[in-house]
Amino acid sequence: MDVDDQDVERAYKRIRLQSPEPDIICDNFDDFLLSDSELFPQLPCVNGFSASILETTAQNKDETRLDIVGEVLVADTVRHVCLGTIILEATSSFFKDRQESETPVNLRECGGIIKLSTADTGAYAGILKASFPSDLLHRPSVKFSALLTAPASLRVIISSHMEEASQIGALLSNNDLFLQHPSPRDIEYFELEMEYFNPQFLVTPGSRMPQLEDLAIEYNDSTSNASLALDEKKKGQLIGIFDTAADLSIRPTTEPSPRLQTHLKDYQLKALTVMSEKECVNLENPQCPSLWAAARDASTRRNRADAVPICAGGILADEMGLGKTLCVLSLICWSLDLLRDTETQGNCSEPSTTLVVIPKSMIPGWQAQIKNHIIPGQIRVAVYHGTGRQTLAKQFRNNDIVLTTYQTLRSDWANKGPLFTEQWFRVVLDEAHRIGNRSTQVFQAACELQSLRRWCLTGTPIVNSIDNYGALLAFIQMKPLHAKDTFDRWISNPIRDNVQEGLRKLRILVEATCLRRTKSSISQALPPPTIREEKVDLHPYDRALYDFFESEAAKNAADPANNSKTGREKKNVLSLIHNLRRICDHGEDLLPASDIEAWRLQRSRGPNFTTMAGTNYSIGSYCQTLPSAKAKKLIHNIRLEQANNLAEAGTPPVKRYSDRRKAYKRR
């Protein structure tokens, strides 16, 4: 019986997927040559949840049912959020004769004084010097996590119900206390994983409130080695090198799994081919560029079978929106099919579970992707996260995919948790640039996971330093360049010193470890974008509120007296514009208390023509129904003429509503 090439390749991949480890271990690589002999001369030798389990159980041949096993989450109707950190001064001699330099403390009011006591023993630790609104201590919904550090500095993390955030922010402001972003130390020490909302933080247009995970990664980037930090020109040059790691020479030869219900596009099929080939460590006839090539025996003219540095993984660095998640899911389903065939033959002994590490906010997104792209009942998924996650540890191997978070990964690493006692078939890091700083605990934790197959998903392999890429290589165990000193010697230092050879070495290394496609490079394979604009009308109350502050901003900008003032005496037009933006999104909820008071005072006077004339107030504020197109045009023309008149002279404009009333009476 004839065997076609695809059957041979499929059988080869099945063998290599079961055991990518070399059969022969050697102490050096003299029998192996680099694919570019001039690339790295004299390289050193290298020795060779709350957890919820989603399971599908067949009721019959044609029907499946989704069961939820373990602790079931009930959605809270009240959102508990972190409001931020306040830094206070204390009077304390707690650390005088102690070796430790910090301790968690509790806050308690005693006779008008805020006393500090240690969280573990309740021993006296000091008192607060600064004024603090003690009534916050008596609110059941407000929680405090406080850390006293030597000699006498206190960091207090405040959390509460979302509905009380603005009120608490105003109360703190009245006491000259201002919330700061939690530091990475705060986030790690107290294991903060809730939503973050700082009521005193101004969110600029086009941006959003940062989340705790964002704050941690921003800190990690800022603490990278300053000597290796890249300017924008150098960073753009390096990103251009990553853009060359495309799939131009790849032929899609790997058949997608029948578990998928989504048809893969051509560039996604190529990604599946690349990823499956790398996991099988194909050195004989690889389609993908490789850093290593087997040496040929001069006597037998055959490739030697000695060991090479195993790197059964890589970096998928496609631009955002090209379906990196779907590519990984197709790889998982493909390997499950091969392992199932091996189990049928009775030769499989290793686990089949893939661990996926993601930011907490992306858990629902991954669950939705799995639901949308994989046929129901074809894959088992578990979420390892939360205080009850330990109950899931013994059931890891009963699942095909285990989702967890970076915070959980760091916590399990610090406590030697189950994630680090399990041998995983594959580990995938989504948003992998979060481990781009080698000095962080999350980087160390990721590197200590037990798995031969390792993948990084990130659209930004370089954030602010070339060593961000080096950290990813360390995770995927790209030996010998996984070591920082080796990476610096052959890659970082030549690039830093503007040696042209450094960029050539980087290009070869990137092609061997990365796959990156941009939207512009595969634009023909993508459907045309659909842009839809929906205009939303403000609620009548918010419309009146907006018109009031719009009028105030126009008056302030046109007031000659205001233009002559300087410093704090001058009214800030930008603050009024920020008020208008706040109103569009949140109504009056985020307005300063003084502005709300002015608005309510104006509204209590009622719609009289005298007030409207004196404040240039819009009559549209009191309209309960939307005006017609002609009325809108008329109002627009009146407003335009009013603005022009105010800009040209300090005298009131002619077309005031009060003037119209007098003219009507004379008739």
Q: Which of 9-23, 171-185, 548-562 has the highest mean pLDDT?
A: 171-185
Query: Model confidence over 273-285: pLDDT tens digits?
Result: 999 999 987 766 7
Quick one: CA torsion of 523, 321, 476, 374, rounded to 10 degrees? -110
User: Is the distance from CB of 153 to CB of 129 less than 8 angstroms?
Assistant: no
In which residue ranges of the chain is CATH 3.40.50.10810 found?
5-69+232-283+312-524
Mean pLDDT of 28-41: 42
Using alpha carbons, select from 333, 329, 332, 334 the residue that is nearest to residue 367. Answer: 329
Mean pLDDT of 277-295: 75
> Residue 660: how many CB atoms within 10 A of its CB?
13
Q: Return the ∠ at Cα 306 (arms to 300 and 310), rounded to 5°.
A: 140
Query: Model confidence over 374-430: pLDDT tens digits?
Result: 999 999 999 998 877 888 988 899 999 999 999 899 889 988 899 999 999 999 999
Q: Which residues contact 108 (CB under 8 A, 6 or more apart)?
A: 114, 115, 117, 137
Strands (E), 244-380: 292-294, 312-316, 354-358
How is domain 5-69+232-283+312-524 classified at the architecture level of CATH? 3-Layer(aba) Sandwich (3.40)
> Residue 391: how many CB atoms within 10 A of its CB?
15
Query: Model confidence over 330-345: pLDDT tens digits?
Result: 999 999 998 887 765 5
Contacts 24+ apart (CB under 8 A), 590-597: 590/166, 590/199, 593/170, 595/549
The pLDDT of residue 36 is: 44
Instruction: Answer whether 0.85 is exceeded by the pTM.
Output: no
The pLDDT of residue 370 is: 96
Radius of gyration from C-alpha coordinates of the chain: 32
Query: CA-CA distance, 123 to 148, in Å (whole number)?
Result: 13
